[in-house]
Structure 1
Amino acid sequence: MKVLLAKTAGFCFGVDRAVKLTYQLLAEGRKVATLGPLIHNPQVVADLAEKGALTCEDLDDVPDGYEVVIRSHGVPARVYEKINTRGLAFHDATCPFVSKIHKLAEEAGKNGALLLVAGDAKHPEVQGIVGHTTGPVLVFAGEEELAALRPKIAQHESITVVAQTTFQVQAWEKCKTALKKWCTNAQIFDTICNATWARQQEAEDLSQRCDHMIVIGGHHSSNTQKLLQVAARHTTAITVETADELDRTWLQGAETVGVTAGASTPSSIIEEVLNCMSE
């Protein structure tokens, strides 16, 4: 059996930056609390906890004396205000691609424009984006939801459109095409990050050359699920969080198996899965 590993598999720039920062702070003996799980990978989060990092869902849960790490997903503007009010030391690991969207959201608010966000309304990145505009905002998960919002969108003269950095590229292109047909006054910004574009494109190409595709990543990872959707368009595909979840009988009879991984998947877990496949 031939195994083809995607070159783009594993940590993206933003996640790698946040993880290295947090480990460095812990190595320096700092008391560290992350706002929410640092990344969508339980194994990394558990390792950070063993080294003393706290995971706090709310700033009110952060004990005095702890330094706050803002994860790569970013946070709403009100969180920064609350941090300053409490006088907490903090380290901002918001991905630069996400910070760019925050600025667009702020500008939309200042200009009284409707902010239209393509993404998962429950995802922390989208919640952070929404929390950076003072104006009206609508979130849609795909072309159908966008079409359903058309009457509300039509009520606005000024519209700013952005996408969650890990949104599915093909779905985004369809949404843009639809918007350009009936919403000519919209300013559309391509905010899907470079890593997502490259990762999804490679999954698209790889899945067309393989009997099966394995996507390694956290079950709560948005970009991992998007990779699965891309791969499943062309071949049978599954996700595994760790090597323990891989059922090797699934690989029987396959000549070529492709492997990719989400942006929150460490190289150690990728190696474990590859080793399991070769046993």
Structure 2
Amino acid sequence: MKVIRAKTAGFCFGVDRAVKLTYDLLAEGRKVATLGPLIHNPQVVADLEDKGALTCADVADVPDGYEVIIRSHGVPREVYEKISTRGLAYHDATCPFVAKIHKLAAEAGKKGALLLVAGDANHPEVQGIVGHATGLVRVFADLGQLQDLLPELLQQKSIHVVAQTTFRIESWESCKAFLKKECTKAEIFDTICNATWARQQEAEDLSQKCDRMVVIGGHHSSNTQKLLQVAARHTTAINVETADELDPQWLAGAETVGVTAGASTPSSIIEEVLNSMSEEIRDDMSFAEMLEAS
């Protein structure tokens, strides 16, 4: 069995930055509280909590004397106001790609344009984007929902369109093509981040070469689930959070297995999964040699 690891697997820049910041503050003995789970990876969140970090659902839940960490997903504008009212110190780990969308959201309102957001309305990143808008906003999850909005869109004088940074590329391209044909007044901003483009494209290519695809990452991680969807279009794919979830029987009969991971998956978990797979390899090459050869 040959194992091919995606080059883009693991932490993206924004997540790595937020995680490093939090660990560094804890190492300094600071009292820190994250607004929501820092990343969509239960193992990392549990480790941070073991080291003293608090996970708080709201600013009101943060104890006095704690420093607030805003995660890479970003937050609505009103959250900053709540932090200021409480007089709490805070560290803003909002991903720069997300912060750029916040600015676009605010600018759309100032120009009197409807803000159209491609994404999951229940995802914290999208909620943060909507929370920075100063005018009319509409969110759609796919082409079908966008088509349903067309009658309203045609009534607008100006429309600015952005996407959640982890939106599925294939869906985004379909939505852009629809808007360019049916709603020419829409000004489209390509806001899917570089890491998402690279990961999804590599998953697309790799899954076409493999009998199986293992996608490592949180079951509630948006970008991980999108990688799973991409891979599943071409081969049999599975999502695991840890090595314990990978059943050796699932690999039976596979000649080539591809491995990728979501943006919130630490390298330690990726290595654990790869090591567990090494036990299934039945040829003369060492696992390290096989990875190098792939």
Q: Under TM normalisation by the shorter chain, which class is it? A: over 0.9
Give the TM-score of the pair, scaled to structure 1. 0.99
Letter in 2 for 1:154: L
Residue 184 of structure 1: aligned partner: 184
CA–CA separation in structure 2 for the residues paired with 1:154 and 1:127: 25
Q: Structure 1: state its 5+ residue gaps.
A: none
Task: Measure how far apart 1:111 and its partner are.
Answer: 1.3
Match of residue 95 from structure 1: 95
Q: Is 1:105 equivalent to 2:88 in the alignment?
A: no
SS of the aligned residue for 2:139 comes to strand
> Percent of counterpart pairs with the same letter?
82
Following superposition, the deviation at residue 86 of structure 1 comes to 1.1
Return the index of the structure with the highest Cα Rg. Answer: 2
Aligned residue for 2:286?
Answer: none
Distance 2:195 2:99 in 1: 15
Distance 1:272 1:24 in 2: 24
Q: Which residue does 1:259 correspond to in 2?
A: 259
Shift of 1:272: 0.4
Residue by residue over 1:130-154, the C-alpha shift from the partner in whole angstroms, topping out at 9 and shown as x without a partner, is 0001100000001001001111212
Deviation at 1:109? 1.2
Structure 2 stretches of 5 or more lacking a match? Answer: 280-294
**C-alpha distance in 2 between matches for 1:48 and 1:152:** 45
* Paired position in structure 1 for 2:290: none
**Residue of structure 1 in register with 2:146 after alignment:** 146
Aligned residue for 2:240? 240
What secondary structure sits across from 1:149 in the alignment?
Answer: helix
Structure 1 residue 112: Cα displacement: 1.6
Counterpart secondary structure, 2:72: coil
Query: Number of residues paired by the alignment?
Result: 279
Aligned residue identity for 1:46: A
For 1:56 and 1:230, how far apart are their aligned partners in 2? 33
Provide the rounded CA distance (Å) in 1 between the counterparts of 2:84 and 2:241: 37
Question: 1:135 maps to which residue?
Answer: 135
2:59 matched residue in structure 1: 59
- Other structure's SS at 1:135 match: coil
Give CA-to-partner distance per residue, 1:66-119, whole Å, 9 cap, x none: 000000000000111111111110000000000000000000111121000000
In 1, Cα distance between equivalents of 2:237 and 2:164 = 24
* Corresponding letter in the other structure for 2:222: S
Shift of 1:28: 0.6
Provide the rounded CA distance (Å) in 1 between the counterparts of 2:111 and 2:180: 21
Residue 217 of structure 1 deviates from its aligned partner by 0.3
